[in-house]
A and B are shown apart, each in its own frame.
Chain A
Amino acid sequence: MERVPIVKIGRTLFVSIQIDLQDESVLRLQEDLADELVRTGANGVIIDITAVEIVDSFIGRMLTMIGSISRLFDAETVLVGMRPAVAITLTELGLSLRGVRTALNAEKGLELLNGRS
């Protein structure tokens, strides 16, 4: 199973998903991210899904869950770089990803997090 690397930049954790998301790798990411949040005390998470072309309802729900988990550690999650096709799919599935903020690209995501703190 492929693992998604988590990079710490300042007080932000940066997760760039470059692989085809399988259910297990998303679950693994969830666990890794929680561990990393505890270890580093980061206050923001940026998930870059520029390379993700296919999503299903499970992955949509997992993204929301990652947002909820991060909030428990007082960290805000920003989902960046979503492709139009992915956005349309998620909307058609009726998932609006409540609790997760979104930005067009990583730069704007960082601005969003920094503007908050």
Chain B
Amino acid sequence: MDVDSSQGRMAAFMRDHQEKVVGRWCELVVAGVRGRLSAVEVRRELEDLYSLVVRAMSGADEQALGELRAELAELSRSRARNGFTPSETALGVFALKDAVYELVADAADLVPEYLAFSRMIDDLGLRTVETYAAAREEIIADQAVSMLELSTPVVRLWQGIIAVPLVGTLDSARTQLVMEKLLETLVATGADHAVLDITGVPTVDTEVAQHLLKTVNAARLLGAECTISGIRPQVAHTIVSLGIEFGDIATKATLADALAHALSRAGLKVGPA
């Protein structure tokens, strides 16, 4: 007996028992997801999948396998996004084996066909886990990007004075983003003074200092003066111990000091009203 016809027999068997198998499959899946999906939703998804599985197994339809994989990939992506675990996602597929086995157990002559079917489902289950992992990676990458954007605001302190409160470690990717945003804001607002506040930067080593210097130099090329503020005592200690030189860049202890400095450079004076 060749593979195609054995698959064909299995497909015919599954088509005949569709109602029973899908019902049992739904029960197993719904029990597995512990109430996070309604039985109606699950049934709709599984009915689609089931008819694709049958079509793929009958061998008559060459596109069915591709469609089945795409459908499963879509399903596991949505599971990943909705916070299901990988095993819950994969068990949803493997449960089909249990559902079919309960029926095949009564018909002993279908056991070899069942083995082939089982291999196919295993393969699909593994694919589901893979897609699930890929989808999670995507989510993590997206989060990293949005965190990067959130962590680099450029705020206007006064006419012609802007500030960049830096929070978190400065690596090259962050520096690039900070630099771009700072320069764009300088051009857009016509500001000629920028304050880089490093209160939220946990440590300043030679690399971070290098990145700060680069940012200041780039701003200077646009004709803006930069002040670095928010240097905490421990950070000052590290900077001196490492022998980092900020050259002629003005450094201040607090953002308030830096603002006062920038105002005086702009020829403004703040006094009691």
A residues adjacent to B (C-beta < 8 A): 78-80, 82-84, 86-88, 90-92, 96-97, 101-105, 108-109, 112
Q: Is the C-beta of B17 less than 8 angstroms from some C-beta in chain A?
A: no
Q: Are the C-beta atoms of B183 and A84 separated by less than 8 Å?
A: yes
Q: Are the C-beta atoms of B192 and A87 separated by less than 8 Å?
A: no
B residues adjacent to A (C-beta < 8 A): 176, 179-180, 183-184, 186-187, 190-192, 214, 217-224
Q: Are the C-beta atoms of A82 and B186 separated by less than 8 Å?
A: no
Q: How far is the CA of A112 from the CA of B223 in the complex (A)?
A: 10
Q: Are the C-beta atoms of B221 and A91 separated by less than 8 Å?
A: yes
**Lowest 9 CB-CB distances: which A-B pairs, in order?**
A84-B183, A103-B223, A102-B223, A87-B221, A91-B218, A87-B218, A104-B223, A96-B217, A91-B217
Known contacts A88-B180, A104-B187; A82 and B217 CB within 8 A of each other: no
* Residue of B whose beta carbon sits closest to that of A92: B214
Shortest C-beta distance, A117 to chain B (Å), equals: 18
Which chain B positions have C-beta within 8 A of A86?
221
Which chain A positions have C-beta within 8 A of B221?
79, 82, 86-87, 90-91, 96-97, 102
Q: How far is the CA of A96 from the CA of B220 in the complex (A)?
A: 8
Q: Are the C-beta atoms of B218 and A88 separated by less than 8 Å?
A: yes
Report 24 cross-chain contacts, Cβ distance below 8 Å, ordered by A residue. Answer: A78-B223, A79-B223, A82-B221, A82-B223, A87-B183, A87-B221, A87-B222, A90-B221, A91-B217, A91-B218, A91-B221, A96-B217, A96-B221, A97-B221, A102-B220, A102-B221, A102-B222, A103-B223, A104-B186, A104-B192, A104-B223, A104-B224, A105-B190, A108-B192
Shortest C-beta distance, B64 to chain A (Å), equals: 51
Instruction: Give the interface SS of chain B, mostly helix, strand, loop or mixed.
Output: helix
Q: How far is the CA of A91 from the CA of B219 in the complex (A)?
A: 10
Known contacts A87-B218, A88-B180, A88-B218; A108 and B223 CB within 8 A of each other: yes
* Residue of B whose beta carbon sits closest to that of A107: B190
Which chain A positions have C-beta within 8 A of B180?
84, 88
Q: Are the C-beta atoms of A84 and B217 separated by less than 8 Å?
A: no
* Residue of B whose beta carbon sits closest to that of A104: B223
Q: How far is the CA of A104 from the CA of B160 in the complex (A)?
A: 11
Q: Are the C-beta atoms of A80 and B223 separated by less than 8 Å?
A: yes
Q: Are the C-beta atoms of A104 and B222 separated by less than 8 Å?
A: yes
